[in-house]
Amino acid sequence: MNKPLDVAVLPGSLRKDAYSRKTANALKALAPPTLALDIVEIGQLPLYNDDLDTSTPPAAWVDFRQRIAQADAFLFITPEYNRSVPAALKNALDVASRPYGHNVWAQKPGAIISVSPSAMAAFGANHHLRQSMVFLDIFVMQQPEAYLGNIGEAFDQTGTLTSERTRAFLQRFIQSFADWTTNFCKD
């Protein structure tokens, strides 16, 4: 049997009780054995600044870049801040795309889930992320799109996913993603 794919999961909110983090945890339980999901932290990364990107860049950048370089695939779980991507998540994208010629996101499959307490499900963040991924050369899954609106109703107080509808959707989503990765992650 093959080794499972190393899937780096990036929740876009830094809040400890963020819905993006709860969704990430729920996905870990639902993923098929061909995928190994690992939540990767992004809150410790200094804001990208070319002047710091010397031969000795910030240690947090170095570690993050290594982690991303190692991964086989990516799952982005994003809330929406001001109709776009949270700065913390955009910063993670920027950090691991530099310096020029060292974009470690490139040529790997990815997928996006947007989550929001509102009905509109962070559509704006979802598609702004997609625009960046064209340049980053991440092979983003098209369907099923994943818009989790009214997300506050899907989890109980302890952070457990209690919505059967959301669970069923995420199950289908993560299986579709496993299928999608097989287009690119050849033996």
- Residues binding a copy of itself (CB under 8 A): 13-16, 43, 45, 47-51, 81-88, 90-91, 93-94, 97, 106, 119-121, 123-124, 127-128, 130-140, 142-143, 145, 147, 149-150, 183-184
**CB closer to a copy of itself out of 50 and 164:** 50
CA distance 43 to 140: 23
Residue 137 beta carbon to a copy of itself: minimum distance, rounded to whole angstroms: 4
Angle, helix 123-136 to helix 87-95, in steps of 10 degrees: 10
> Is the CB of residue 7 less than 8 Å from the CB of residue 144?
no
Q: Which is nearer to a copy of itself, 83 or 172 (CB)?
A: 83
Distance CA 165, CA 86 (A): 27
> What is the C-alpha to C-alpha distance for residues 132 and 147, in angstroms, rounded to an integer?
18
Cα distance between residue 95 and residue 53, in whole Å = 9
Q: From the CB of 88, what's the least distance to a copy of itself, in Å?
A: 5
**Minimum separation from the CB atom of position 34 to a copy of itself (A):** 18
Q: How far is the CB of 50 from a copy of itself (least distance, A)?
A: 4
Query: Between residues 29 and 46, which has the closer beta carbon with respect to a copy of itself?
Result: 46
Pairing type for strands 108-115 and 73-78 reads: parallel
Nearer to a copy of itself, 66 or 183 (CB): 183
